[in-house]
Amino acid sequence: MLLTPLDWGFIVASFLVSIGIGLAMSRRGGRSVADYFLTGRSLPWWLAGTSMVATTFAADTPLAVSGLVARDGIAGNWIWWSAASGSMLTVFFFARLWRRAGILTDVEFAELRYSGRPAALLRGFRAVYLGLPINCVIMGWVNLAMAKILAVTLGWDQLTAVMVSLAFTGVYASLAGLWGVVIADFVQFTFAMVGSVALAWFVLRLPEIGGLSGLAAALPEQTLAFTPRFGTVSATDAVTLVALPVATFLTYVTVQWWASWYPGQEPGGGGYVAQRMMSARDERHSLLATLWFTIAHYCLRPWPWVIVGLASLVLYPDLVDKEAGYVMVLRDHLPPGWRGLLLGAFFAAYMSTISTQLNWGTSYLVNDVYRRFLRTTEDERHYVTASRVVTLLLMVLSAIVTFYLESIRQAWEFVLESGAGIGLVLILRWYWWRVNAWSEIAAMAGAALGFTALKLFTTIVFPYTLLAVVAWTTVCWMVVTWLTPPESDDRLIAFYLKVRPDGPGWARIAALAGEPPPGSLRPLLLQWAAGTTLVYSTLFGTGTLLLRSAAEALPFLTIALIAGGWLLRDLHNRGWHTVVR
């Protein structure tokens, strides 16, 4: 692909802005570990929420969505659309609790909620497991996507692509800490959205596509369906029919959203989402940040990618690597100047995700391993320096992992499968006093053993592996919970008084503490239902408006307005945060 000086100008600008932000924020992020990893708990909701959604908008996501659409039609996106229910659960059931917890990382929660050696073991193991292998796989698939983009557009080999992209990102992420990451995220998200919308605009203007109406006419109806349809559908001569199997869809919407751990969509919050919630100014900002993230993640971002993915089916019907279709549209159908802008947007999306993963993974390894178990008495400057070194080491390890991955979808499925069944215990540990450290340990061990056994001894494939692993893991941790003693009453009372979870699961502990009964979960359930309705009706209303007609979109958009209006009024009437008694 031939790039003009204007194209290169956009690409260079995307790097220089990020490096400039890193340098500008290096002093602010280097004052303490709390500043380096949590911005001193001072983020406004709009910046924290945009940082979350920028992290999920990586170089891999447009490619992966294009591949999903090419393989299973629009409905193939349910592999991640299904998580909207879990994200809304985080908004109303967990955002305020994470902010109240007052901890530095989500794995530190283990020693807030539990006590003794099991708690320390759980904290250390989760920090190493999530901070190293899982984090490196996540960064590996993002590196793989960036390498594909640069291979198709610039002809770079994979090693060169990964090293150049990582080097720039690692420098500013290690310098600035979370302050630099979130400010860069805001700029990068804006840049990336402009680029993705521009690509969709230009591809729709192609004579081969003929606008939204021409695109819809060129594809089978089943490919354009938002959900699978029962019965048989005939394929057209022009384009091979693609459709998501109904059983796969049901697995996504009934099990996956609450049962599996996945970065940015963890049941009960966690990872970099918890990091942003704990970095917010207060409980209100924590809730609003997570609500904005969920709406932007599911409603604002997807349709430009889906449109380009559908267009790639028409333009490249015989393409073997479906994920590469998105980049080929960029390479073959963008005018000069816009090519560089979109490549710069890809770099921006890539850097926002990698910088967050580096900072998040480093927070585990430094705060929950190095500071907790190895060097416990050093000053803040020492731990900040250690954090910068570990950030660069993680950068190198993620580059190595990249060369062992074959596709982005493969990595997505591995993370979902290997964490299947953990989600329920991550939810209930906040709302049921009987859960203990051994419950979480058993869930993690059970998921790993179940996943390994299925891969070695069966031919079951994703997503049906989820059903078996979830059932096995749930039995494992429930049995272990009842066979092991509960946490001491003193620890449970201390946790309850600090975090104040609602619901009947803490009634016994509230009585022991001499406190009034915990609040009802009914208001939270109603808010969750309204928020979930808002997201899905907005998502489908927008898609229907684009690909069908305004008349068909009107019911969806009306429901979205009603759900959104009720939710805002209810939050206002009840107060944006619960007053700690």
Distance (Å, whole) CA 369 – CA 365 = 5
What CA–CA distance (Å, rounded) separates 287 from 121? 31
pLDDT of 237: 40
Q: How far apart are CA 74 and CA 244, in angstroms?
A: 8
C-beta separation of 492 from 437 below 8 A: no
Q: How does 449-487 read in b/e, with b if 16+ C-beta sit within 10 Å?
A: ebbeebeeeeeeebbebbbbbbebbbebbbebbeeeeeb
**Distance (Å, whole) CA 501 – CA 97:** 7
Q: Which of 161, 559, 504, 553 is nearest to 346 (CA)?
A: 161
Residue 255 has a pLDDT of: 82
User: Rounded to an integer, what distance in angstroms lies between the CA atom of residue 61 and that of residue 55?
Assistant: 10
Position 531 scores a pLDDT of 96
Long-range contacts, 154-162 (Cβ 8 Å, 24+): 154/1, 154/3, 158/402, 158/403, 162/399, 162/402
pLDDT of residue 496: 97
* Fold category of 5-231+243-252+274-409 in CATH: Sodium/glucose cotransporter (1.20.1730)
What single DSSP character describes residue 77? Answer: G
Of residues 492, 521, 529, 487, the one with CA closest to residue 504? 521
Domain range annotation of the chain = 5-231+243-252+274-409
The confidence score (pLDDT) of residue 115 equals 94
Q: Is the dihedral of CA 3, 154, 396, 105 positive or negative?
A: positive
β-strand partners of 43: 280
d(CA 513, CA 489): 9
CA 377 vs. chain centroid, Å, equals 34
- Compute the residue count for the chain: 581
CA distance 334 to 202: 7
CB-based contact 49:291 (threshold 8 Å): yes
Short-list 294, 278, 305, CA closest to 65: 305
In the predicted model, residues of the chain with pLDDT beneath 70 are 1, 22, 25-31, 158-159, 161-162, 165, 168, 170-176, 229-243, 262-264, 405-418, 575-581
Q: How far apart are CA 341 and CA 570, in angstroms?
A: 42
Contacts of residue 546, defined as CB under 8 A and 6 or more positions apart, other chains included, come to 212, 303, 307
Backbone angles phi, psi at 420, to 5 degrees: -65, 135
d(CA 418, CA 86) in angstroms, rounded, equals 18
What are the C-alpha distances in Å from 159 to residues 1, 99, 347? 19, 41, 16
pLDDT of residue 84: 92
- Classify residue 260 by burial, with Cβ atoms within 10 Å: 0-12, 13-18, 19+: buried
To the nearest 10 degrees (0 to 180), the angle between helices 423-431 and 437-457 is 170
Q: Which residue in the block uniquely carries the two structure tokens 């080491």?
A: 393
Query: Could you report the per-residue pLDDT of 341-376, keeping only the tens digit for each?
Result: 888 877 777 777 888 888 888 999 999 999 999 988
pLDDT of residue 3: 77
| Cross-strand bridge partners of residue 420 | 260
pLDDT of residue 579: 39
Rounded to whole angstroms, the Cα distance separating 466 from 247 reads 12
Q: Comparing C-alpha atoms, which of 34, 41, 36, 13 is closest to residue 25?
A: 36
Q: What is the DSSP string of 37-52?
A: HHTTS-B-HHHHHHHH
The pLDDT assigned to 581 comes to: 36
C-alpha dist (Å) from residue 485 to 119, 213, 507: 13, 63, 19
Work out the angle at residue 436's Cα, subtended by the Cα atoms of residues 38 and 373, and round it to the nearest 5 degrees.
Answer: 50
Residues 469-484 have pLDDT tens digits of 889 999 999 999 999 9
pTM, rounded to two decimals:
0.87
What are the phi and psi torsion angles at 350 (to 5°)? -60, -50
Listed in sequence order, the residues at least 6 apart from 235 whose beta carbon sits closer than 8 Å to its beta carbon are: 220, 241
- Specify whether the backbone of 321 is left (phi greater than 0), alpha (psi in -120 to 50) or beta: beta
* 261, amino acid identity: W
